[in-house]
Amino acid sequence: MRVAVTGGGGFLGSFLCEALLRRGDAVVCLDNFSTGRPENIAHLWEFPAFEFVHADVSVAADVPGPVDAVAHLASPASPPDYLRLPLQTLAVGSRGTENALELARRDNARFLLASTSEVYGDPLVHPQDEDYWGNVNPIGPRSVYDEAKRYAEAVSLAYRRSLGVDVGIVRIFNTYGPRMRPHDGRVVTSFISQALGGEPLTVHGDGKQTRSFCYVSDLVRGLIAMLDSSESGPFNLGNPEEWTVSDLAQLVLEITGSHSEIQYHPLPTDDPVRRRPVITRAQEHLGWSPEVRVADGVRRTVEWFSHSTRELDLSGFPN
């Protein structure tokens, strides 16, 4: 296939681009590097089938030549980023999604929307399956991301129902791994960066809130399985192994050998208390389940942050 990947210079997007290239697909990567980084894709220029288009997909998603699939990953994803870029986040979730859908419609291509567990908000139902409608504050500070993704899902399925676009939606739960920015505000990389730097680990709230952490190679397998299918979803993609934030902090201290202390700070507004995906539908329809244990994934991520060469362990990615 020839696949257009919006947000291809970001953490997830760059790994998806790489996995597609390694299995023999051609990739057109679109990014404006508002939160992505050129170094994430620098090594992809060795692939003859890799193309890059510097573009803000909120303005236009123009790709010369036909594509067989469009993977729409473009969006700020960490709280500091979408709180710093609220209007841009809303724009890429609305106009950006529409532009990516029009690209797929132009070429009768498969369209994959990377949505998020944030559509469930601070859930009143636990664990969360795809039938849950969520508990989202539509005017809170996090709403710029939550509602952008909820709109993206709505417009994507409207394109499917009204215009016949081959749409598939996945809802991504907390994903981590190499290539994340050290201080992007997400808990795994924050803890690792703080531990390696000898700084206190910052825990917001009492540390009893839970998350479900999925290693990036597992998540990318799920994205590709959805891209290759004709399923509409939405399907949860995440690791149903639930961790408290305090337990994760202790794991990072153990793996890094750090003697950093843990400091507790107030919980941010609308921060969800519990998150754990039900992945039965992804298992049944995509044959997908995560394989990398959290301790192993954190260890790999620590190793990447620890080495200046940052040579990536690509085991687990499609060949």
Output the pLDDT for position 272: 82
> How many whole angstroms separate alpha carbon 185 and alpha carbon 173?
15
The string of pLDDT tens digits covering residues 248-299 is 999 999 999 999 999 998 877 777 888 999 999 999 999 999 999 999 999 9
Domains of the chain plus CATH, in order, are 2-176+213-240+276-291 (3.40.50.720)
94 exposure class (CB count in 10 Å sphere: 0-12, 13-18, 19+): middle
Determine the average pLDDT of the residues in 141-149. 95
What pLDDT, on a 0 to 100 scale, did the predictor assign at position 300? 96
- Is the pLDDT score of 318 beyond 80? no
pLDDT above 70 coverage of the chain, percent: 96
Contact between 243 and 304 under an 8 Å Cβ cutoff? The reply is no
Mean pLDDT to the nearest integer, 15-43: 97
- Residues facing residue 201 across a β-bridge: 262
List, by residue number, the catalytic residues: 145
Confidence of residue 308 (pLDDT cuts 50, 70, 90): very low
Separation of alpha carbons 233 and 267, rounded Å: 32
pLDDT (0 to 100) of residue 317: 44
Q: Is the pLDDT of residue 302 over 70?
A: yes
- The per-residue pLDDT for 309 is 39
pLDDT at 228 (0 to 100): 98
So what's the pLDDT on residue 297? 97
What is d(CA 167, CA 157) in angstroms, rounded to the nearest whole number?
7
Q: Which residues of 137-172 are buried (b: 16+ CB within 10 A; e: fewer)?
A: eeeeebbbbbbbbbebbebbbebbeeeebbbbbbbb
Contact 235, 169 (CB under 8 A): yes
Taking only the tens place, the pLDDT of each residue in 36-86 is: 999 999 999 999 999 999 999 999 999 999 999 999 999 999 889 999 999
pLDDT of 174:
93
pLDDT digits (tens, 9 = 90+) for 162-209: 999 999 999 999 999 999 988 788 899 999 999 999 999 999 888 898
Entry pTM: 0.93
pLDDT band at residue 316, thresholds of 50, 70 and 90? very low
